Amino acid sequence: MKNSFGNSVQITLFGESHGAAIGAVLDGFAPGIEVNEAFIAAQMEKRQGIAEISTKRREKDAVRILSGVFNGKTTGAPITFYIENNDKKSHDYNEIRYMPRPSHADYTAHCKYHGFEDYRGGGHFSGRLTAPLVAAGAVAIKALEKKGIFLGTHILECATLRDKPFGDYGRELAYLQSAALPVLNPAVGEQIKQVIAKASEVGDSVGGILETAVIGMPAGVGEPFFDSLESALSHAMFSIPAVKGVEFGMGFEIAKYLGSKVNDEWRMEADKPVTTTNHNGGINGGISNGMPILFRTAVKPTPSIFKDQKTINLATGENAVIKIKGRHDPAIIHRARVVQDSLTALVLCDMLALRYGTDYLAK
């Protein structure tokens, strides 16, 4: 499937960082869903991040919808999101053509594509490829909202800083949709900005942990064994450049406890089964149990830093030192969160359509 993902609802991605355009094709999506262009633009804006702590490459990223929308609504045919690449500075890459940047895809792309890869700005492996995902995700997010399903992502950790955990989901998810910096504790947000700014000043970068919550998912969605909700969500999350870990509910922490401490007991609450705790993050046996879905991703510090780094010269086979130029983010967590939201929404739309049919979201 490579650059495609999904079963009933499938997303296909194309483009390179410094090519003519990037885009995505969203196929199998329900007909009759209103396409909110203002919301798409707002999501694209969120993906740009806060100017003061983001790359100086700030494309307008105007999304043009080429197909699949008619009279403002989805038609059921493939929806194509098209974004031109305007603000390119490819000359920055010519002199490091044969020097793989540490922790980037440069070397592995070279091995896989025998040197034919478009190396400029990371080519097809650039984080820029997430822009069309955000456009497609915006349509998915709005469709889910109509069904009472809401989601959002905050920066749980950045360097050694830690935001407060989700508590009052409904309110917090609504807040995150409009927050420029996605943190639940504003004081921590200020500190995060400072940490990022400080790393930027010295040509370095920081990473973090993103936490996503979904509320309103009906119980019984997800497929047995290989297509569990956890498998599908992690599959999608690990496609986000820089994600190195995915965990659900308590995640890795759960390994330290006795079963009796972390099992999620059931009880009836107003005729509805609920669990008293949610250590499993809303998923049992790979299937949604009606509780909030909760997961976290580990985002590594942006590998593009401005310090001297050791590398090799693929043309000469000798050791070398690389000094990356160009415009790079000192952190991507505040930008990646909207990508995480988008992929989450796309996975949920797929799983819901698989379970309830392709018209489900339209009903």
d(CA 84, CA 276) in angstroms, rounded, equals: 49
Q: Which is nearer to its own copies, 234 or 340 (CB)?
A: 234
Interface pick for its own copies out of 56, 95, 97, 111 (rule CB under 8 A): 111
* Exposure of 40 in the CB half-sphere (CA atoms within 13 A): 23
Using the rule CB under 8 A, is 221 a contact of its own copies?
Answer: yes
Cβ of residue 282: shortest distance to its own copies, in angstroms?
Answer: 10
Among 39, 159, 169, 326, which residue interacts with its own copies (rule: CB under 8 A)?
159
- CB environment 195-222: b (16+ within 10 A), e (fewer): bbeebbeeeebbbbbbbbbbbbbeeebb
Window 187-216: contact mask with its own copies (x via CB under 8 A) = ------------x----xxxxxx-------
Task: Classify residue 145 by burial, with Cβ atoms within 10 Å: 0-12, 13-18, 19+.
Answer: middle
Q: Return the SS3 of 278.
A: coil
- 39-47, 68-76, 142-150, 169-177 -> range binding its own copies (CB under 8 A): 68-76
Q: Which of 284, 299, 301, 207 is nearest to 248 (CA)?
A: 284
Region of 46-54, 144-152, 176-184, 291-299 interacting with its own copies (CB under 8 A): 291-299
Subset of residues 162 to 191 that bind its own copies, contact rule: CB under 8 A:
none
Question: Binding to its own copies (CB under 8 A): which residues in 232-261?
Answer: 232, 234-239, 241, 243-260
Residue 267 sits in the site that holds its own copies (CB under 8 A): yes
Contact partners, residue 322, CB within 8 Å, separation at least 6 = 96, 99, 101, 102, 308, 309, 310, 311
Helix 333-356 × helix 229-237 angle, to 10°: 140
By the rule CB under 8 A, 326 interacts with its own copies = no
3-state SS assignment for residue 220 = coil
Distance between CA atoms of 245 and 351, rounded to whole angstroms? 22
Binding flag, residue 49, its own copies (CB under 8 A)? no
C-beta of 177 vs 305, nearer to its own copies = 305
**Ranges within 339-358 binding its own copies (CB under 8 A):** 353-358
Taking the complex as a whole, the smallest distance from the CB of residue 110 to its own copies amounts, in Å, to 8
Among 43, 55, 80, 340, binds its own copies (CB under 8 A): 80
Which residues lie closer than 8 Å to 168 by C-beta, 6 or more apart? none
Task: Scan residues 120-149 and list those touching its own copies (CB under 8 A).
Answer: 123-125, 129
Q: How far is the CB of 201 from its own copies (least distance, A)?
A: 12
